[in-house]
Amino acid sequence: MLNVGVIGCGGMGRDHIKRVTERVQGAQVVAVSDLFEEGAKKAAAIAGEGCKVYNNGKDLINDPDVDAVMIISPGFAHVDDLLEAIKVGKRVFCEKPLCTTAEDCQKVMDAEVASGKHLIQLGFMRRYHKGYQQIKEAIATGEYGEPLMMHCTHRNPEVGTNYDTPMAVTDTVIHEIDLCHWMVGDDYDTVQVIMPKVTKYSHPALKDPQFMILKTKSGVTIDVECFVNCKFGYDINCEVVCEDGALKMGTPMAPSIRKSAQASTEITTDCFVLFKDAYDQEVQNWVDRAADGVIEGPNTWDGYLAAVTADALVAAQTSGQIEKVNTVEKPEFYK
Amino acid sequence: MLNVGVIGCGGMGRDHIKRVTERVQGAQVVAVSDLFEEGAKKAAAIAGEGCKVYNNGKDLINDPDVDAVMIISPGFAHVDDLLEAIKVGKRVFCEKPLCTTAEDCQKVMDAEVASGKHLIQLGFMRRYHKGYQQIKEAIATGEYGEPLMMHCTHRNPEVGTNYDTPMAVTDTVIHEIDLCHWMVGDDYDTVQVIMPKVTKYSHPALKDPQFMILKTKSGVTIDVECFVNCKFGYDINCEVVCEDGALKMGTPMAPSIRKSAQASTEITTDCFVLFKDAYDQEVQNWVDRAADGVIEGPNTWDGYLAAVTADALVAAQTSGQIEKVNTVEKPEFYK
Amino acid sequence: MLNVGVIGCGGMGRDHIKRVTERVQGAQVVAVSDLFEEGAKKAAAIAGEGCKVYNNGKDLINDPDVDAVMIISPGFAHVDDLLEAIKVGKRVFCEKPLCTTAEDCQKVMDAEVASGKHLIQLGFMRRYHKGYQQIKEAIATGEYGEPLMMHCTHRNPEVGTNYDTPMAVTDTVIHEIDLCHWMVGDDYDTVQVIMPKVTKYSHPALKDPQFMILKTKSGVTIDVECFVNCKFGYDINCEVVCEDGALKMGTPMAPSIRKSAQASTEITTDCFVLFKDAYDQEVQNWVDRAADGVIEGPNTWDGYLAAVTADALVAAQTSGQIEKVNTVEKPEFYK
Amino acid sequence: MLNVGVIGCGGMGRDHIKRVTERVQGAQVVAVSDLFEEGAKKAAAIAGEGCKVYNNGKDLINDPDVDAVMIISPGFAHVDDLLEAIKVGKRVFCEKPLCTTAEDCQKVMDAEVASGKHLIQLGFMRRYHKGYQQIKEAIATGEYGEPLMMHCTHRNPEVGTNYDTPMAVTDTVIHEIDLCHWMVGDDYDTVQVIMPKVTKYSHPALKDPQFMILKTKSGVTIDVECFVNCKFGYDINCEVVCEDGALKMGTPMAPSIRKSAQASTEITTDCFVLFKDAYDQEVQNWVDRAADGVIEGPNTWDGYLAAVTADALVAAQTSGQIEKVNTVEKPEFYK
């Protein structure tokens, strides 16, 4: 049984506590922490009797009853708790982003490398979505040759006025940034953002849709349509074009309905419905591999790469140019 | 150039005149006939200058300027004109049904056999629909082994109150009667009709839907859902299950539309839209083969078999039993 | 925590022990029994330390440490253990069939009714398959009106020579027997079996495919193509035709692959892959509802109805006639 | 009856002669011309008795028996015959490209404008493909709002070693250049070409695949995957993303086949199969509108725009930059 401490008791934190408590095998939440005591207590109640309550991450991390830590606090608060966890050598599940700046990401990466232990898994849950896994497995068979291109869409029904142009990168395409380099097994070289005609459903601070292009070091070219006011649904698509075949991600099982002169299938409008199983499985996988100290999911390098790539994309949003993704060389440790 | 005389100038007759005049190559309408002089004149105007007008089929058939005859009159009036055309040895395209009784069908068949010439093609236009032809061709490759079963639906949006229970056979499933035996290359042995729960959209004189089962002499089992108040569209489907694979008919090309939390494709509600090309091609094929005196399309035997099978199905509608399809032996002439 | 005893330690029994131990929340296996001591010990090892081993079901059922019982023994052995469990008032999960004769099923049903407690859930796992649940939920919205017909296929790649004609009912269509009456909320009135042309891949003791028709008391007409040597895959389909629309079950998520002049998606050949999640969820649901003594899944009446319906279908296989499904009246207790 | 003269009797010329003679209504080929007398005679034989034979376009154009001209000669030879036809005011169907340089295109456009008559239709046959027409019609309903983006693929099974990098523009994407601006009703502003990883099936003179991006004046952003050694088929796709919905082009009717653990549909490998009807309909439409002197299909402006856009794309292939499409202002005459 893995005794887990959870830092950050907002909505997402409480979701994870519920997940570990009710659906994940082999783990239990033994401690929670939050700046707001009320929130922490409420969250502890989900975990059940005996769950300790802290008002800061450091104490929770250092509690000898805590085997492993989940960091679900706001992104800016991650860096200190990550470094503390590395210092004491505790396994971490950290919601994305790793940190909010590339510098902080690198600091964490350096610390982990120095520690010599793989400790951190990042919450890019989509890697655990069946659709992506099926494509990844198909590529791995070798039957389709080398991937050359990927076409992706990331469509949301709508966003609020607090969602601005850079968030298309940092909140939305950040998922494709992680997924696509994982799918093709390569890191990024350059990125570009093209701004199409703007939908009437957008607002002044948001250019929507956006069309982003990422090129990997080996030349795989990935395009992502990011359209967050598409109105019709939460619509995720991905096609990998290889030398010997093209692989399009399947759609979730749904009835085909004949009615009103149409054959139709539902498109979900809720990303949490679409990725429910993926959320459960990323945490289950993190728990399962605890015994042998392995991180199978997205790791610190992936978090660092995502941060640097996102910075380049945000720069490309205003420059209109092809921007270089300037990472340090990938440490041996993560190969 | 094949000079065609058209008997019957109602809506369907005028459609065929328009078809021959505007879209079919190698034929022209040189004469029309109808009991109602006004109707005949209107129809002749579609064909253009010089088109003769008759008030009976016999005179038209015997006009030396008429090479071939299209019989588009009401079903009960077919038999006399068919026999006359056989007598003078003129090629015939006859809208379904061949005749309204099995006895008349047999009379026509006997006359054609006696004449020693293949003269009559019947207007079962669906054989010329691309969807059915693709399945037929796939079966013919031998790659899928012997057909064992067929599952069909024949769905109409709605019918009027003049449409009663027997018409499900004589107006609707009559198409599947012809198509299915052609698809599997076999004649019928027995039929059965099952009456499911009745839709609220039906009326007292109509049991709707109906589920019909036809078994061929070699044992191929064909089921047809006939649902003429299905509301959602004119929806024709067909799957042939063979020993080495199952073949489902394709759907007409139509955009896939994402809107309102649905991915949808249109289902037509108009059978004339669905089979427009098939209507053109059945007549074109009839014209094309005139020179060498061949009937490639549905022939007199098919018309006779359809009549006898329909009689058995109508009997089965009330008996609830498995009914025998009692045909004479197929003449060598049609093998 | 629900302490479960498992009777029957064959392959399926061990699967269930593994399931409860590794994937189901809120339950653990505390005892197992099997006639063969070796098998029982092996099975107990899966459950882990402290799991007791019995050589008969009765002792296991009466063990005070056992809260609930899973009966995974051969079908003929179910009746005694079911009656014993009812006698002592313990909750049961019983793999299908309930019993091998309608008489035994009725005996168990009478005993359960007399006990006044809902105790038995039957292992018709398909009710927990997402595809069927989505259709069931869609019907329940009322948006599509009353169900009138269902079209089903149950196709297996191939069967051994030990699989004979009656097994098409008792091993294969038994699933549709349960599913379909549950989907439309009605019991069966009559059944019929039609024997199409036999595939070359069958053997003398097996008529394959078979086409079965079940009619419910309200007239819903269900047809099932049972084709156990279809070669191409484990292919389950289901369409419910309602007054205001038709609902076709979705297909499992799978990549669409373009290669070799084809766009294709995989059809699984393994029913355990297709229904993996359903197996987990039926047991999870049984465990979840233990606290409040509710049976949400298939119950004793369903097991009885399945047995009587299967008997009628087996009779229909040889009679070729429409056979009556002669059940007792449904006890108030199960309404 | 439109009397047509055909200039250019190569394979494509003979195809068009056959088309006009056998399938198009209201036209006949009365004269042909080719530098190679043998070829011209062979071609004349297809048209039938009485078809005149010329060894140059000018004489054919000036033959008073010729009402209209089809120019199917090599692209470099178009300009002189186009100018001659404009001079004598004869209607022209010209296979693409209009001319091989933007300068020549402009010369022809100026001459047509000066003549004051719409005379030239260009052979961009894809506008007559049902798939594109359905999308165009759907957009025109206004139900989906303004188009914002288009995603296209243009995939060929393979090309010979004579096919080099610029031909990806001039032979392949030239179709999308015409189609896409027609679909969204706008002209191009800028273009860009991205070179992904090269497939192992390419050769030194060809970068394959290529990813092209075209932006219209109103900002509609169009991406085209051009992959001419994709191996798996001739695979044309197009999705238009609008403010209120996304429209994906349908696929040609084809059976869905279950075999060998796959559900599959065929992808054609032959573009002439895919566009057979479109070729017929573009010529039929050109003939149909002759009487009222209207050009409904792609016109001289479209040919000029395609030439200028192709030049910009070829420049972009080597520059790697976003290139401007420098056209003259669109003459009132073509609006």
How many contacts does B have with D, using Cβ atoms within 8 A? 80
Q: Answer whether C215 sits within 8 Å of B194, measured CB to CB.
A: yes
Q: Which of D232, D251, D262 sits opposite C266 (nearest CB)?
A: D262
b (16+ CB within 10 A) / e for D290-314: beeeebebbbbbbbbbbbbbbbbbb
Q: If you measure CA to CA, which chain D residue comes closest to C258?
A: D232
Beta carbons of C214 and C189 less than 8 angstroms apart: no
Q: Answer whether B264 sits within 8 Å of A269, measured CB to CB.
A: no
A333 in D contact zone (CB under 8 Å): no
Q: In chain B, which residues have their Cβ closer than 8 Å to the Cβ of D131?
A: 253, 255
Other CB atoms within a 10 A radius of the CB of residue A200 amount to 11
D233 in C contact zone (CB under 8 Å): yes
Please, which residues have CB within 8 angstroms of residue A37's CB and are 6 or more apart in sequence? A53, A55
C273 in D contact zone (CB under 8 Å): no
Q: Answer whether D253 sits within 8 Å of B22, measured CB to CB.
A: no
Other CB atoms within a 10 A radius of the CB of residue A87 amount to 13
Q: If you measure CA to CA, which chain C residue comes closest to D257?
A: C264
Q: How confident is the model at residue B112 (pLDDT cuts 50, 70, 90)?
A: very high
Q: What is the mean pLDDT of residues D219-224?
A: 98
Which stretch of DSSP H or E encloses residue B87? helix B78-88
**Which residue in this structure is represented by tokens 């107990």?**
C44
Q: Which of B247, B255, B260 sits opposite D248 (nearest CB)?
A: B255
Helices (H), B141-294: 167, 174-184, 271-274, 276-288
Query: What pLDDT does B39 receive?
Result: 94
N residues, chain C: 335
Q: What is the pLDDT of residues C17-65, one digit of tens each?
A: 999 999 999 999 999 999 999 999 999 999 999 999 999 999 999 999 9
Tell me the C-alpha to C-alpha distance, in Å, between residue D194 and each of A240, D157, D181, D241: 17, 21, 20, 22
b (16+ CB within 10 A) / e for C134-155: bbbebbeeeebebbbbbbbbbb
Q: What is the mean pLDDT of residues B183-189?
A: 97
How many contacts does A have with D, using Cβ atoms within 8 A? 106
What integer best gives the mean pLDDT of chain A? Answer: 97
C23 in A contact zone (CB under 8 Å): yes
Query: What pLDDT does A324 receive?
Result: 98
A131 in C contact zone (CB under 8 Å): yes
Q: Which of A149, A194, A201 sits opposite D196 (nearest CB)?
A: A149
Q: Answer whether A231 sits within 8 Å of D213, measured CB to CB.
A: no
Q: What is the pLDDT of residues D25-37, one digit of tens each?
A: 999 999 999 999 9
Which one of C253, C265, C266 makes the best mutation probe of the A interface by having the most chain A beta carbons within 10 Å? C253
Q: If you measure CA to CA, which chain C residue comes closest to D256?
A: C264
Chain centre distance of CA D236: 14
pTM of structure: 0.96
Q: Answer whether A257 sits within 8 Å of C249, measured CB to CB.
A: no
- The CA radius of gyration of chain B, in Å to the nearest whole number, is 20
Q: Which of A147, A149, A199 sits opposite D148 (nearest CB)?
A: A199
The CA distance from C197 to B148, in Å, is 5
Structure tokens at C57: 């079901």
Residue D257, min C-alpha distance to chain C (Å) = 9
Q: If you measure CA to CA, which chain D residue comes closest to B260?
A: D245
Q: If you measure CA to CA, which chain B residue comes closest to C202?
A: B243
In the three-class reduction of DSSP (H, G, I as helix; E, B as strand; rest coil), residue D232 is classed as coil
Phi, psi dihedrals of residue D248, rounded to the nearest 5°? -105, 130
For A76, how many CA atoms within 13 A lie in the half-sphere containing its CB?
A: 0
N residues, chain A: 335
Angle at which helices B102-115 and B78-88 pack, to 10 degrees? 10
B213 in C contact zone (CB under 8 Å): yes
B266 in A contact zone (CB under 8 Å): yes
The CA distance from D202 to D207, in Å, is 7
Q: How confident is the model at residue A290 (pLDDT cuts 50, 70, 90)?
A: very high
C233 in D contact zone (CB under 8 Å): yes
Q: How confident is the model at residue D164 (pLDDT cuts 50, 70, 90)?
A: very high
Beta carbons of B79 and B67 less than 8 angstroms apart: no
The CA distance from C150 to C215, in Å, is 10
The fraction of chain A above a pLDDT of 90, given in percent, is 99
Q: Which of A148, A218, A230 sits opposite D209 (nearest CB)?
A: A148
Residue A231, min C-alpha distance to chain B (Å) = 7
Interface chains of chain B (3 or more CB pairs under 8 Å):
A, C, D
Q: Answer whether B194 sits within 8 Å of C201, measured CB to CB.
A: no
Q: Which of D263, D268, D269 sits opposite C264 (nearest CB)?
A: D263
Going residue by residue through chain C (335 aa), what tens digit of pLDDT does each one get? 999 999 999 999 999 999 999 999 999 999 999 999 999 999 999 999 999 999 999 999 999 999 999 999 999 999 999 999 999 999 999 999 999 999 999 999 999 999 999 999 999 999 999 999 999 999 999 999 999 999 999 999 999 999 999 999 999 999 999 999 999 999 999 999 999 999 999 999 999 999 999 999 999 999 999 999 999 999 999 999 999 999 999 999 999 999 999 999 999 999 989 999 999 999 999 999 999 999 999 999 999 999 999 999 999 999 999 999 999 999 999 99
Q: Answer whether D218 sits within 8 Å of A241, measured CB to CB.
A: no
Query: What pLDDT does A177 receive?
Result: 98
D251 in B contact zone (CB under 8 Å): yes
Query: What pLDDT does A195 receive?
Result: 98
C194 in B contact zone (CB under 8 Å): yes
B201 in C contact zone (CB under 8 Å): yes
Residue C41, min C-alpha distance to chain A (Å) = 24
Tell me the C-alpha to C-alpha distance, in Å, between residue A223 and each of A176, A214, D135: 10, 6, 23
Query: What pLDDT does C237 receive?
Result: 97
Q: Answer whether D138 sits within 8 Å of B22, measured CB to CB.
A: no
Q: If you measure CA to CA, which chain A residue comes closest to D191?
A: A194
C267 in D contact zone (CB under 8 Å): yes
Query: What pLDDT does A194 receive?
Result: 98
Query: What pLDDT does A104 receive?
Result: 97
The CA distance from D57 to D67, in Å, is 14
Q: Which of A230, A264, A269 sits opposite B263 (nearest CB)?
A: A264
Residue D242, min C-alpha distance to chain A (Å) = 8
Q: In chain C, which residues have their Cβ closer than 8 Å to the Cβ of D253?
A: none
Interface chains of chain D (3 or more CB pairs under 8 Å):
A, B, C
Query: What pLDDT does D56 receive?
Result: 96
ipTM of this predicted structure: 0.95
Q: Answer whether A151 sits within 8 Å of D149, measured CB to CB.
A: no
B154 in C contact zone (CB under 8 Å): no
Residue A196, min C-alpha distance to chain D (Å) = 5
Burial of B85 (0-12, 13-18, 19+ CB in 10 A): buried
Q: Answer whether A266 sits within 8 Å of B265, measured CB to CB.
A: no
The CA distance from D88 to D134, in Å, is 37
D221 forms bridges with which residues in the sheet? D149, D215
